[in-house]
A and B are shown apart, each in its own frame.
Chain A
Amino acid sequence: MTTLLNALLVIVLVLNFLALGSGRIASVIRTVAIQGALLGLLPLLLHAHLQPPVVLAVLLTVAIKGLLIPFMMFRAMRHIRIRREVEPLIGLQPSVILGALGTGIALLFADGLPLAGTHARLLIVPAALATMLTGFLLLITRYKALTQVMGYLVLENGIYCFGVLLVDALPLVVEMGVLLDLFAGIFVICIIVNRISQAFASLDTRRLAALKE
């Protein structure tokens, strides 16, 4: 099981690089969706016995992260009719390299956070931290509002990746609460993105610079 888990986590890491290096918003949305779905499947591999609450949580997570949220994002994209990201603040190639640096830092930090016995050889903590750093990078360096939301989703993916370790500890109620909040948050954000595009006729957040000291 650990082998398969580590293999999946490594694919999650590679998906981070893909998300950082893609210039097209559609491919970023797809990458993040695949990442979310993969992470949603992780609890199934972590537990030898499948209890109904865990299975339910997995199904819901995969449905929301892998299907529902990308669907909402694609709908928002269709309304706004944008295709590519404008050249971001630090360029796509430097982004990938920074993401690599971030992954390296995550590997370093993860050594300071020791894992408990059964989880000892897993790569969950480095994967989670690396995904979070990728999310931050996307949030900070991209101009288009939708890509910033993608960064937020990648950040949430990273946090969920860590939460997988606690699937037996955190009861279903809170897990559902987390997912519901994510869903509701993205819903509200999509509405706001729509309003932004209506008001500014563009999703370039450099236009949202009127409020200054």
Chain B
Amino acid sequence: MIDRIVHLVILLLLPPLLPGVIAKTKAWFAGRQGPPVLQPYYDLARLWRRGMVFSTTSTWVFRAGPVVTLAALLLAGLLVPFGGADAPVGFAGDLILFAYLFGLGRFFTTAAALDTGSAFEGMGASREVTFACLSEPALFLALMVLARLSGSLTLGTMLQATAGGVPADTVAPLVLIAIGLFIVLLAEACRIPVDDPATHLELTMIHEAMVLDHSGPLFGAILYGAAVKLLLLGALLYHVLVPARAGRGLDWLFFLAGMLGLSVAIGIVESIMARLQMRHVPRLLVGALLCCGFGFILLVR
């Protein structure tokens, strides 16, 4: 019972902290003070109080987009274990539900973007979907490696697969899918080198272009949903990388530390790299796909 409550609390309260930590890390690298770490919370509160503006050409899809996305992501969050405890919801084959909830969210976001009838959102939507074509197979291959390692198709069990220690010939596949998952994380969370969350130049954005027309609480829902996505994929990566399990309370702490560490790592990556040219992003994602693919091949060899 306690586990479920802690899980829900983490799922609902932790996400906005992560973009804050990333921004702080980037500022620190640039020699600035940067915004306070809790800034995203303040932003969400501010946006909640605002009114919303809707274009006359948009329909219910535009309003439904952020809501459905957020709901899907939160539901997916129930499938992923944080720390040592099991996920609140789990059944055989729920990894497919996990991936498809992400897909559902993506579909509604792009549909909402297309619904505005503006060219910029359309551009962002098409790019988003193209890159998703490359990152989803990578994600699936990584999940298949985990499934094969743990011998189960339940996401919770799969992610605890490395809990008992890592035998020698599974290290290589795990390292490979960790690299692949990190690249997928950067792509899905729209971080450099795939997309620059700080600019708002439509011609170069992917995610930012799609959500340009949203305002008020719906925009807040989008920001929050993006942070939840970051948390979920980060949790996936954490479970792949961290092989051991300590006691119960310690596990939650380690998980929190892991998430913060991941945010710092993303911040560092964003600070030292430049955004890739749009036509080179597929190369990066193909690289992630190859990494995960090889991880799978090495495992079944």
A–B direct contact (CB < 8 Å)? yes
List 10 interface pairs A-B (beta carbons < 8 Å), by A numbering: A2-B168, A6-B168, A7-B172, A9-B172, A23-B280, A93-B286, A96-B283, A104-B297, A107-B301, A111-B301
Q: Compute how far the CA of A6 lies from the CA of B172 in the bound complex, rounded to whole angstroms.
A: 6
The chain A residues found within 8 Å of chain B, CB to CB, are: 2-4, 6-7, 9-11, 13-14, 17-18, 21, 23, 92-93, 96-97, 100, 103-104, 107, 111, 121, 123
**Interface of B with A (CB < 8 Å)?**
166, 168-169, 171-172, 175-176, 179, 280, 282-283, 286-287, 290-291, 293-294, 297-298, 301
What is the bound-complex CA distance between A93 and B301, given in angstroms?
A: 26
- How many A-B pairs with Cβ below 8 Å? 55
CB distance from A27 to the nearest CB of B (A): 11
Give every chain B residue within 8 A of A9 (Cβ-Cβ): 172
What's the minimum C-beta distance from A121 to chain B, rounded to whole angstroms?
Answer: 5
- Which of B172, B286, B301 makes the CB contact (< 8 A) with A97? B286
Q: Decide if A10 touches B171 in the complex (CB within 8 Å).
A: yes
Pick from A10, A96, A104, A111: contact of B176, CB below 8 A: A10
Q: Quick one: which of A10, A21, A23 contacts B175, CB cutoff 8 A? A: A10
Smallest CB-CB A-B distances: 9 pairs: A2-B168, A10-B172, A6-B171, A10-B175, A3-B171, A100-B290, A6-B172, A121-B168, A7-B171
Which of chain B's residues have a CB closer than 8 A to the CB of A93? 282-283, 286
B283 touches A21 (CB 8 A): yes
Query: Given known contacts A9-B172, A107-B297, what 20 new A-B pairs fall within 8 Å (CB)?
Result: A2-B168, A3-B168, A4-B171, A6-B168, A6-B169, A7-B171, A13-B294, A14-B176, A14-B291, A17-B291, A96-B286, A96-B290, A97-B286, A100-B290, A103-B294, A104-B297, A107-B301, A121-B168, A123-B172, A123-B298
Which residue on B lies nearest to A23, using beta carbons?
B280
User: Is B172 touching A17 in the complex (CB atoms < 8 A)?
Assistant: no
Of B169, B179, B294, most buried by chain A (CB within 10 Å of CB) is B294
With a CB–CB cut-off of 8 A, which chain A residues contact B294? 13, 100, 103-104
CB <8 Å contact, A17 and B290: yes
A103 (CB) vs chain B CBs: closest residue = B294
